[in-house]
Amino acid sequence: MIAMLMIALMIISIGALMNRAVTYYKHEPWEEYLTLIGNIELSSHRLVELSLSNYTNTQPSNSSVLRSNLQKWQTDLTRIYPGYGVSLNYTLADGLYTFSGTAIRYSLGMNYTWQKRASFSVANASFDLNINSIGLSGHKFLTVALLNLTILSVNTETSEITVTVKKENGIPLLDLEKEDFQVAGLNVTKATSRYDEQYVVVYVIKCAGTITLPVTVTVWDSRGIKVTAKYP
Protein backbone atom coordinates (compact mmCIF):
# COMPACT_ATOMS: atom_id res chain seq x y z
CA MET A 1 0.00 0.00 0.00
CA ILE A 2 2.86 2.36 0.91
CA ALA A 3 4.45 1.61 -2.43
CA MET A 4 1.20 2.49 -4.19
CA LEU A 5 0.99 5.77 -2.30
CA MET A 6 4.60 6.60 -3.19
CA ILE A 7 3.91 5.93 -6.88
CA ALA A 8 0.77 8.06 -6.70
CA LEU A 9 2.75 10.89 -5.10
CA MET A 10 5.45 10.62 -7.79
CA ILE A 11 2.87 10.74 -10.57
CA ILE A 12 1.22 13.79 -9.01
CA SER A 13 4.57 15.55 -8.53
CA ILE A 14 5.51 14.91 -12.17
CA GLY A 15 2.08 16.14 -13.22
CA ALA A 16 2.52 19.34 -11.22
CA LEU A 17 5.99 19.91 -12.70
CA MET A 18 4.73 19.32 -16.23
CA ASN A 19 1.84 21.69 -15.62
CA ARG A 20 4.28 24.33 -14.41
CA ALA A 21 6.55 23.87 -17.44
CA VAL A 22 3.65 24.09 -19.89
CA THR A 23 2.26 27.17 -18.15
CA TYR A 24 5.72 28.81 -18.29
CA TYR A 25 6.20 28.21 -22.00
CA LYS A 26 2.64 29.23 -22.75
CA HIS A 27 2.75 32.49 -20.85
CA GLU A 28 6.39 33.57 -20.92
CA PRO A 29 6.18 36.71 -23.13
CA TRP A 30 8.06 35.25 -26.12
CA GLU A 31 6.10 37.46 -28.47
CA GLU A 32 7.11 40.50 -26.43
CA TYR A 33 10.76 39.47 -26.79
CA LEU A 34 10.29 39.02 -30.54
CA THR A 35 8.79 42.49 -30.75
CA LEU A 36 11.73 43.89 -28.75
CA ILE A 37 14.12 42.27 -31.22
CA GLY A 38 11.94 43.59 -34.06
CA ASN A 39 12.05 47.11 -32.60
CA ILE A 40 15.86 47.04 -32.32
CA GLU A 41 16.18 45.68 -35.88
CA LEU A 42 13.79 48.28 -37.31
CA SER A 43 15.42 51.15 -35.39
CA SER A 44 18.87 50.03 -36.56
CA HIS A 45 17.59 50.00 -40.15
CA ARG A 46 16.07 53.46 -39.68
CA LEU A 47 19.41 54.68 -38.32
CA VAL A 48 21.22 53.41 -41.42
CA GLU A 49 18.65 55.24 -43.60
CA LEU A 50 18.95 58.39 -41.49
CA SER A 51 22.74 58.32 -41.75
CA LEU A 52 22.55 57.88 -45.53
CA SER A 53 20.15 60.82 -45.71
CA ASN A 54 22.61 62.93 -43.71
CA TYR A 55 25.53 61.74 -45.88
CA THR A 56 23.80 62.57 -49.17
CA ASN A 57 22.35 65.94 -48.09
CA THR A 58 25.38 67.46 -46.39
CA GLN A 59 28.10 69.31 -48.28
CA PRO A 60 30.88 68.39 -47.74
CA SER A 61 29.71 64.87 -46.95
CA ASN A 62 30.55 63.44 -43.56
CA SER A 63 31.71 59.95 -44.48
CA SER A 64 31.93 58.80 -40.85
CA VAL A 65 28.33 59.75 -39.96
CA LEU A 66 27.09 56.14 -40.02
CA ARG A 67 29.88 54.92 -37.74
CA SER A 68 29.38 57.83 -35.37
CA ASN A 69 25.59 57.33 -35.20
CA LEU A 70 25.96 53.58 -34.64
CA GLN A 71 28.43 54.16 -31.82
CA LYS A 72 25.90 56.43 -30.10
CA TRP A 73 23.09 53.95 -30.77
CA GLN A 74 25.10 51.16 -29.11
CA THR A 75 25.34 53.20 -25.91
CA ASP A 76 21.82 54.61 -26.02
CA LEU A 77 20.22 51.17 -26.43
CA THR A 78 21.14 50.35 -22.83
CA ARG A 79 19.38 53.56 -21.73
CA ILE A 80 16.26 52.88 -23.78
CA TYR A 81 16.00 49.26 -22.60
CA PRO A 82 17.57 49.20 -19.14
CA GLY A 83 17.70 45.83 -17.42
CA TYR A 84 17.49 43.78 -20.61
CA GLY A 85 21.26 43.46 -21.05
CA VAL A 86 21.13 44.57 -24.70
CA SER A 87 24.40 44.75 -26.60
CA LEU A 88 24.61 45.46 -30.32
CA ASN A 89 27.76 45.05 -32.40
CA TYR A 90 28.02 46.26 -35.96
CA THR A 91 30.24 45.80 -39.00
CA LEU A 92 30.26 48.40 -41.76
CA ALA A 93 30.64 47.26 -45.35
CA ASP A 94 34.08 48.13 -46.64
CA GLY A 95 35.58 47.47 -50.06
CA LEU A 96 33.97 46.11 -53.20
CA TYR A 97 30.55 44.45 -52.92
CA THR A 98 28.00 43.36 -55.48
CA PHE A 99 24.42 44.20 -54.62
CA SER A 100 21.57 43.35 -57.00
CA GLY A 101 24.08 43.01 -59.82
CA THR A 102 25.71 46.40 -59.20
CA ALA A 103 29.34 46.69 -58.09
CA ILE A 104 29.59 49.06 -55.10
CA ARG A 105 32.79 50.24 -53.43
CA TYR A 106 31.88 51.05 -49.83
CA SER A 107 33.81 53.24 -47.47
CA LEU A 108 32.69 53.15 -43.82
CA GLY A 109 29.47 51.45 -44.89
CA MET A 110 28.36 54.04 -47.44
CA ASN A 111 28.73 55.03 -51.05
CA TYR A 112 27.14 57.33 -53.54
CA THR A 113 27.67 57.13 -57.26
CA TRP A 114 26.11 60.18 -58.89
CA GLN A 115 26.21 62.10 -62.16
CA LYS A 116 25.63 58.94 -64.20
CA ARG A 117 22.56 57.82 -66.12
CA ALA A 118 21.99 55.16 -63.47
CA SER A 119 23.02 56.68 -60.15
CA PHE A 120 22.55 55.47 -56.59
CA SER A 121 23.14 56.17 -52.91
CA VAL A 122 23.65 53.18 -50.64
CA ALA A 123 24.52 52.25 -47.03
CA ASN A 124 25.23 48.76 -45.71
CA ALA A 125 25.80 47.49 -42.16
CA SER A 126 25.52 44.08 -40.51
CA PHE A 127 24.62 43.64 -36.86
CA ASP A 128 25.07 41.13 -34.09
CA LEU A 129 22.51 41.42 -31.28
CA ASN A 130 22.73 39.95 -27.77
CA ILE A 131 20.02 40.24 -25.10
CA ASN A 132 21.30 38.64 -21.91
CA SER A 133 18.02 38.73 -19.96
CA ILE A 134 16.37 36.33 -22.42
CA GLY A 135 19.49 34.33 -23.26
CA LEU A 136 19.70 35.59 -26.84
CA SER A 137 23.19 35.75 -28.28
CA GLY A 138 24.59 36.17 -31.76
CA HIS A 139 21.36 37.19 -33.51
CA LYS A 140 22.62 38.49 -36.86
CA PHE A 141 20.87 40.78 -39.29
CA LEU A 142 21.90 42.81 -42.32
CA THR A 143 20.49 46.16 -43.26
CA VAL A 144 20.87 47.89 -46.60
CA ALA A 145 19.40 51.27 -47.54
CA LEU A 146 19.52 52.14 -51.23
CA LEU A 147 18.04 54.65 -53.62
CA ASN A 148 18.55 54.31 -57.36
CA LEU A 149 17.64 56.92 -59.99
CA THR A 150 17.89 56.05 -63.67
CA ILE A 151 17.13 58.52 -66.46
CA LEU A 152 15.50 56.49 -69.23
CA SER A 153 14.91 59.18 -71.83
CA VAL A 154 14.75 62.93 -72.39
CA ASN A 155 12.34 64.52 -74.83
CA THR A 156 13.60 68.03 -75.58
CA GLU A 157 10.54 68.83 -77.71
CA THR A 158 7.98 68.21 -74.95
CA SER A 159 10.42 69.08 -72.12
CA GLU A 160 9.81 65.74 -70.46
CA ILE A 161 12.25 63.48 -68.68
CA THR A 162 11.36 59.84 -68.00
CA VAL A 163 13.00 58.24 -64.98
CA THR A 164 12.73 55.21 -62.70
CA VAL A 165 13.29 55.41 -58.95
CA LYS A 166 13.89 52.26 -56.96
CA LYS A 167 14.87 51.39 -53.44
CA GLU A 168 16.64 48.28 -52.11
CA ASN A 169 15.64 44.92 -53.64
CA GLY A 170 14.61 46.77 -56.80
CA ILE A 171 11.29 47.93 -55.34
CA PRO A 172 9.92 50.91 -57.32
CA LEU A 173 8.86 54.00 -55.36
CA LEU A 174 5.23 54.92 -55.84
CA ASP A 175 4.70 57.98 -53.66
CA LEU A 176 6.95 60.63 -55.24
CA GLU A 177 5.61 64.05 -56.10
CA LYS A 178 6.92 66.96 -58.15
CA GLU A 179 8.47 68.52 -55.00
CA ASP A 180 10.69 65.44 -54.70
CA PHE A 181 12.32 66.07 -58.09
CA GLN A 182 14.71 68.81 -59.11
CA VAL A 183 16.06 69.47 -62.59
CA ALA A 184 19.17 71.68 -62.76
CA GLY A 185 18.38 75.10 -64.22
CA LEU A 186 14.67 74.38 -64.79
CA ASN A 187 11.44 74.41 -62.80
CA VAL A 188 9.56 71.15 -62.49
CA THR A 189 5.89 71.78 -63.27
CA LYS A 190 4.57 68.24 -62.97
CA ALA A 191 5.71 64.73 -62.09
CA THR A 192 3.39 61.86 -62.93
CA SER A 193 3.84 58.14 -62.49
CA ARG A 194 2.62 55.49 -64.87
CA TYR A 195 2.82 51.74 -65.29
CA ASP A 196 5.57 50.44 -67.54
CA GLU A 197 5.91 46.86 -68.71
CA GLN A 198 9.68 46.78 -68.32
CA TYR A 199 10.27 49.03 -65.27
CA VAL A 200 6.89 48.57 -63.52
CA VAL A 201 6.64 52.26 -62.54
CA VAL A 202 8.19 55.22 -64.36
CA TYR A 203 7.95 58.93 -63.59
CA VAL A 204 7.53 61.55 -66.29
CA ILE A 205 8.93 64.90 -65.17
CA LYS A 206 7.56 67.88 -67.04
CA CYS A 207 9.76 70.98 -67.02
CA ALA A 208 9.06 74.65 -67.72
CA GLY A 209 11.30 75.88 -70.53
CA THR A 210 13.55 74.03 -72.92
CA ILE A 211 15.77 71.19 -71.78
CA THR A 212 19.36 71.44 -72.92
CA LEU A 213 21.58 68.39 -72.74
CA PRO A 214 23.28 67.22 -70.61
CA VAL A 215 20.52 67.38 -68.02
CA THR A 216 20.88 66.71 -64.30
CA VAL A 217 18.00 65.33 -62.23
CA THR A 218 17.91 65.02 -58.44
CA VAL A 219 15.41 63.05 -56.38
CA TRP A 220 14.69 62.70 -52.65
CA ASP A 221 12.60 59.86 -51.25
CA SER A 222 10.46 59.93 -48.08
CA ARG A 223 13.51 58.80 -46.04
CA GLY A 224 15.35 61.93 -47.15
CA ILE A 225 17.89 60.01 -49.24
CA LYS A 226 19.16 61.99 -52.22
CA VAL A 227 20.46 60.87 -55.64
CA THR A 228 21.58 62.94 -58.61
CA ALA A 229 21.71 61.46 -62.12
CA LYS A 230 22.94 62.96 -65.40
CA TYR A 231 21.86 62.31 -69.00
CA PRO A 232 23.50 61.44 -71.33
Contact positions toward other proteins, by CB under 8 A?
Answer: 1, 4-5, 8-9, 12, 15-16, 19-20, 23, 26-27, 29, 31-32, 35-36, 38-40, 42-43, 46-47, 50-51, 53-54, 57, 69, 72-73, 76-77, 79-81, 182, 220, 222-224, 226
Shortest spacing between CB 80 and other proteins, in angstroms: 4
The three-state secondary structure class of 12 is helix
Q: How far is CA 156 from CA 160, 207, 214, in A?
A: 7, 10, 11
Residue 37 vs 152, nearer CB to other proteins: 37
CA distance 137 to 90: 14
Residue 80 vs 102, nearer CB to other proteins: 80
Shortest spacing between CB 179 and other proteins, in angstroms: 9
CA distance 182 to 32: 44
Shortest spacing between CB 69 and other proteins, in angstroms: 5
Residue 43 vs 199, nearer CB to other proteins: 43
Residue 182 vs 196, nearer CB to other proteins: 182
Residue 15 vs 214, nearer CB to other proteins: 15
Which is nearest to 86 in space by CA: 130, 47, 128, 43? 130
Shortest spacing between CB 46 and other proteins, in angstroms: 5
* DSSP state letter for 172: B
End-to-end CA distance of the chain: 97
Shortest spacing between CB 79 and other proteins, in angstroms: 6
101: part of which helix (H) or strand (E)?
none
Q: Which residues, 6 or more positions from 36, have their beta carbon under 8 angstroms from its beta carbon?
A: 81, 84, 131
- Looking only at the bridges linking them, the beta strands covering 86-92 and 160-167 are unpaired
